[in-house]
Structure formats: C-alpha cells, structure tokens
Structure 1
Amino acid sequence: MREIRALVTVGGRYVGEAEPFTVDSPWWSDVRPVTEHLDRVLGVTTSVLRLVGTTSGGARDGVVTYQVEADRVPDGLSSTGRHEFPDHPLRLPWARPGGPAELVEWARRHVDVTGSPVQVKTWNLSCLYRLPTASGAVWAKATPPFMADEAAVIRLVASVDPSLAPELIASEPGRVLLGEASGVDCWQPDDEVIERIVPRWVGVQAAVAGAPRLRVRGVPVPGFGLPDTVLHGDFHPGNWRSGGVVLDWGDAHWGHPALDAARLIGFVAPEVRPAVERAWVDAWLSHYPSSDPASALRHARPASHLVGALVYQEFLDNIEPSERVYHLGDPEAELARAQAFAV
C-alpha cells in the first residue's frame, strides 16, 4: 500500500497539494489508481509527471510524492508552502509539463480514440497509456533514448514470427503505438505456456543470428556451438502474455542467447526451472544439433547478472536524481548474485 502526496501543477506552476490518500497497489510506477483518485476528487484530468520523493526504497510502498499535472486549476487543494520544479538535463519528455498530453495527442493522430485515455504507468523507463478505440484498446508507450529502438526490434522479430511481437501501429523515435496483446501476464507460467513461447523465441533468434544489428553489452559467454543473436534482454515471464505475445523490447541487445534463458530461469519458481531449461535446450538442439546449449546455460547464469549490473548502472547514469531511488543498489546486488555462483 502507498500513501500518496500529489503536488499539483498547471503548466509547470505549482497550484497546491491534494489531500493525502492511499492506494492498494504498492508499486510507485503504477499510476493508474493515483490519477483515477485525483480525477474523481478534484474534478479535473490529471497525469503523473514524475516521482519527487519517497520514504522507502525498492520501488514500492511508503509515502510517495509525485508532481502531478492537471489540465486546469482545481478546487479543493491546500497550500503547503512553496514548491519549485526546476528542469533537469536528464528529465525525460513525458516527465515535463505537457509531456503526457503530447504523447496522447501523437497517438490520436494514428487511431480514433473513443474514450478517455488512461495513464497506466510512468517512471524513468517508460510512460504508458491505454487508449480505447472502436476496434479495441491500443497502447501508447514512450521510452528513453538510452534504451533500444523498440519499433526496430519489433519489426525484426515480426519478420520471422509476427505473432510473437505486439502489433506495431505507429512509431517515431522514442515512441510506439501498439495493439492490445490478448491474455494475461504469465508471472507463473505452466509447461504449456513455456512450450508455446520459448521454442518460438529460439526460432526467431536462430533465424536472425549473425552480424550484430543492435548494441552489444560486452559480457561474453562461451559459444558451445551457438551463435550470437538478438536478445530480449528482460525475458522474464511477466513480459509474456498468455496469448503468446512477448512485450517490452526496450532492453534488447545482441549477445549469446543463453543470457535470455538465464534471465528467465532466475525469475521462475525452482520447480518450473527444469521445464524452462528442457524447452530451451531442445529448441536450440533442433536448430544447431551439434551444439551444447546446457553447458552454455551453466556459464550464462552468472554472466546474466553481470549484464544486469551494466544495465542498472546505465539507468542510474541516465536518469535524473529524484528517480534514481528506483535503481539504487541494483548494480551492487547483481554483482553479488554473479559472485555467488563462484562460491
């Protein structure tokens, strides 16, 4: 549970603070319940721009203070002193005044929106809106320049298996507009879901392997007969939909495919890991019969945490100070996990 302090601005100017309230969702980046409450009690349309401060760590719980943008000055605010919101060179477009509204207006140029857009998530790695249309919901997503070009990665994946990636409706640098992916998130995948997604992803990786088409993270894994290829980068089951689509391609890069499998195994419950490893090993053996995927995976387990340390440090190096709290300590934790494999 979070306690919310909302410092309300209009056009970047502070106009007052809403009465503190709580929401059931503990995750700081989950802003849908925040704006739903504020829209209802203030009678205006709001969006969360960014996190200003929090009393806890770990991206959840505690008292969380947001800068919230309203479309007009609402009644019912209290004066809590003077609050300034100076710009910062690392502040992302959607965290600036007018940023969320501009993302929604861009989406409206490509689809006919039939109802009120809903800001679902915002933090230093993305801003995500769900927009209703006559043919179903679509998703407008903005991402920072230090992450992969999600549209380019989706096109690469779809060139081999169009059903594995979300429908790409429109894109421009730092933005994608995506069709709805059916089903639910697969945080606890069963054997059927594993067998439906893992071999298809391996098939894409085998098809596009070769010269790098994306950045290389620089953490080597012995080949064991497998090629370097495109990596999802965050291939945990929460990024799978039960309908068979894989989401969130912003961490994609080029490297050894066992790194994706190691990331996945680190997320699932211990009793599920043998099914994941079996599906992944069998899939690669079907494409590269003389390879040794199981040995590659053993080497990739610690290496995947080294990649994680690099990624988290990149986040810390490229986000403004108030939002570094999302990732503080993460590089050190990943290095400790890698070191634990040597014990």
Structure 2
Amino acid sequence: MRRIRALVTVGGEFVGAAPDFDVESFWLNATEDVVAHLEAVLGVPVSVLRLERTTEARRSGDLVVYQVEAEAMPRVPLDRSVDHDFPDHPLRVPWARPGGPRSLVEWADRHVTRTGPAVQVKTWHLSCVYRLPTDRGPVWAKAFPGFVADEAAVIALVREVDPTLVPEVIASEPGRVLLADVPGEDCWNPTPEVIADVVPRLVAVQHALAGPARSRVRGIDVPDFGLPDTLLHGDFHPGNWRSSGVVLDWADAHWGNPALDVGRLLGFVDPASHPLIERTWADAWLAHRPDSDPHQAIRHGRHASHLLGALVYQDFLDHIEPSERVYHEGDPAAERAKAQASLP
C-alpha cells in the first residue's frame, strides 16, 4: 500500500495538488493505478512525469509524491495552499519533462492503429512504458535512456538465431521501441518446465553468437573455463521471462562470459531451484562445448554477477537525477556484500 500525492502541472506550470489517495501497488515506478485514479477524479487525461520525492523506497504506507501532467485544466478545484516549482535537471530523462509521455504515444501511433486510450504502466529513470490497444491486439511502447543498450538492435541479433526467444519489434528509433504483446505471465517463481525451456534456448543463442573476445564489460573478469565471450542478457532474472518462453527487457545486454547471466539468475530464485538451474545450464553448455567446464564457471559467475551488479547500480546512480536515487540508494553496497559472501 502506498499513499500518493499528485502535484499537477499543465504545460509545465503547477496548477495544484490533488487529494491524497492510496494504491495497492508497492512498486514506486508502477503508474497504471495512479493514473486511473487521477483521471477519474480530475476528469482529464494525465500521465506521471517523475518521482518528486518519497520518504522511503521500500516501506509500505509512506508518502510518495509525483509530478503529474494533465493534458488540460482539471475539472475540479485543486489545493493551491502551497506553491511548487519544478526546476529542470541536466540528468532528467526526456519522458520526465512536460510533453514527454505524450510524445512517446504519438510516435507509437504512427506505427499502429490504436483502438482505445493508451495506458501508462510504468515510468522511472530506466523506462517509460505504455500499453496501447490496437487492431492487432495490445502493443507496448517503451522509451529508454542513452546509457542502456539499444533493445531493438539486441533483439534483432537474438532473432537471427531464435525468433521465439524475444518479442517482435514493430518499430524502433533511438531511445524508443514498440513491441508486440507477449502472451503468458511473468515468471518470478519459474516452474521446472519453464526453466528447462528458457535456459537451454538462451545458451543455444549465446553459443551461436559467440565470437572473438572483446573488452570485458566494466572491468568484470570471469575465467572462461572453455566458455566463449558472447552476448549476455545482463539482467536474466525470471521476472524478465514470460511463461510462454519469451525473454523480455534486453536493456542491460552486453558482451562477456555467459556465467554472469546464470549467476544473476541464481541470485533471484528460490535456492531449492538452484540444482535444477545449474544442471540445466551446465548440460546445455556441455552439449555445445563438450571441452568446457560450466560447473566451475557457475562458481565464479555467481560471485562476479554481484560485482557487476554493484557497478551497474552505481552507473544508474551516476546517471539519474537526485529524486530518483531512492530507487537504487544502497544497492551497490548490498551487491558488494553479496559478492563477498559468495566468494568461490
């Protein structure tokens, strides 16, 4: 449960605060329920621009304050007892500025025929995501910052090997991608069947895309144990899997040792699943590289994935404006502690 305060702007000018309200979602970047409530109360279309402040990122019941953009003056009086301004910040992402979300939807509309209102599902420093109903079913418009990978380009590489492992790209341009819907559910607790499906298919793609060694990402080195440098997903936790076998969110993709991906996965799942994941991943690599030692690679990959996580989270903190740091404050230190605890 979160307590929400919306500071409403029209054309970048503050017009008042809406009455506080509660939403069930715990995630600070989840906006669908926030937008639905405000549109019902204010009587005009709105979008969440950015997180203005919050008292605590991970405690239920704390006050969360958003800057919210209304497309027209609200049809109800708002609280103007306290004035607010919203100075720009050099690290602010384009979709957190006035007109940013609308620009993303207008771009998507040039590529699909929409049959209903676009729904803002998420916004934060890493992405702004809309679900659009269209004559071809739901599609997903996503904006992303320049310090992450070009998802469309990465998906195109994977599709050359296994088009069923990634979503269909309908359109893309720098900083934006429009994706077809993917059936199924997110797999935060993947079944053995899903593990047995997704893990070997990623390995097959990585084996096919392997090439000459390149510079290690962010200085993280893993002994190769006979495994190649290849394309990594970068955030291969099961929340980025769909039960239909498609892997989403390739924004953290990079080049390196594939043990980093399985290490990331093991850090997210129930320890009871670890033996199955390790066996499935190792058997898949042995089928492609019989002279490799994937079991030893796993031992190092679990440790190195936390070192990489610390650097990635610090990279986020270095690239985001102060009000958004609450999402990742403390994460680099937490990952370093996990790395220390997982020394091979």
Please tell me the TM-score bracket, short chain as reference.
over 0.9
Q: State the distance in 2 between where 1:265 and 1:201 align.
A: 15
Equivalent position of 2:335 in the other structure: 334
Amino acid at match of 1:179: A
SS at match of 1:186: coil
**Counterpart residue identity of residue 226, structure 1:** L
| Displacement after TM superposition at 1:341 (Å) | 2.2
1:216 is displaced (CA, Å) by 2.4
Partners in 2 of 1:57 and 1:333 — Cα distance? 15
Deviations 1:272-315 (A, max 9, x none): 11111111000000000010000001011111000000100000
Hey, what's the Cα distance between the residues in 2 that align with 1:70 and 1:140? 20
- 267 and 109 in structure 1: CA distance in 2 versus 1, 3 angstrom threshold: same
Following superposition, the deviation at residue 261 of structure 1 comes to: 0.3
The answer for the alignment partner of 2:87 in structure 1 is 86
Contact kept? 2:213, 2:228, Cα under 8 Å: no
Match of 2:53 in 1: 53
Q: Which residue of 2 aligns with 1:191?
A: 192
1:94-135 CA distance string (max 9 Å, x none): 000000000000000000011000000000100000000111
Cα drift, residue 340 of structure 1? 1.2
Correspondence for 1:39 = 39
How many residue pairs match? The answer is 343
CA distance in 2, matches of 1:233, 1:166: 17
Distance 2:226 2:194 in 1: 27
Give the whole-Å Cα distance in 1 for the aligned partners of 2:215 and 2:142: 20
Which residue of structure 1 lines up, in the alignment, with residue 248 of structure 2?
Answer: 247
Query: What is aligned with 1:73?
Result: 73
The answer to whether the Cα contact below 8 Å between 1:2 and 1:62 also exists between their aligned partners in 2 is yes
Structure 2: how far apart are the matches of 1:59 and 1:252? 30
- What's 2:282 paired with? 281
Cα distance per residue 1:246-284 (max 9 Å; x no partner): 000000011100010011011110111111111100000
Matched to 1:11, the amino acid is G
Aligned pairs (5 A) from 1:20-31? 20-31=20-31
Structure 1 unpaired stretches of 5+: none
Q: What secondary structure is seen at the aligned counterpart in 1 of 2:311? A: helix
Question: Where does residue 173 of structure 1 map in the other structure?
Answer: 174
CA distance in structure 2 between the partners assigned to 1:291 and 1:248 by the alignment: 29
Please tell me whether the aligned partners of residues 28 and 57 of structure 2 are also in contact (alpha carbons under 8 angstroms): no
Q: TM-score, normalised by structure 1?
A: 0.98
User: Alignment partner of 1:290: what SS?
Assistant: coil
Unaligned stretches of 5+ residues in structure 2 = none
Are the counterparts in 2 of residues 143 and 175 from structure 1 also a CA contact under 8 Å? yes
* Partner Cα distance (1:245, 1:80) in 2: 49
Check whether the contact 2:151–2:177 (CA below 8 A) recurs between aligned residues: yes
Task: Specify the SS of the correspondent of 2:287.
Answer: helix
* Residue aligned with 2:129, SS: strand
Would you say the 8 A contact 1:214–1:253 is kept in 2?
A: no
Q: Which amino acid aligns with 2:275?
A: P
2:234 is paired with a residue of what secondary structure? coil
Measured at CA, do residues 298 and 60 of structure 1 come closer, stay the same or move farther in structure 2, by a change above 3 Å? farther
The whole-number CA distance in structure 2 between the counterparts of 1:341 and 1:167 is 37
State the AA in 2 paired with 1:266: G
Identity percentage of aligned residues: 65
1:206 corresponding residue in structure 2: 207
CA distance in structure 1 between the partners assigned to 2:327 and 2:182 by the alignment? 27
SS in 2 for 1:217: helix
The answer as to whether partners of 1:27 and 1:61 remain within 8 angstroms in 2 is: no
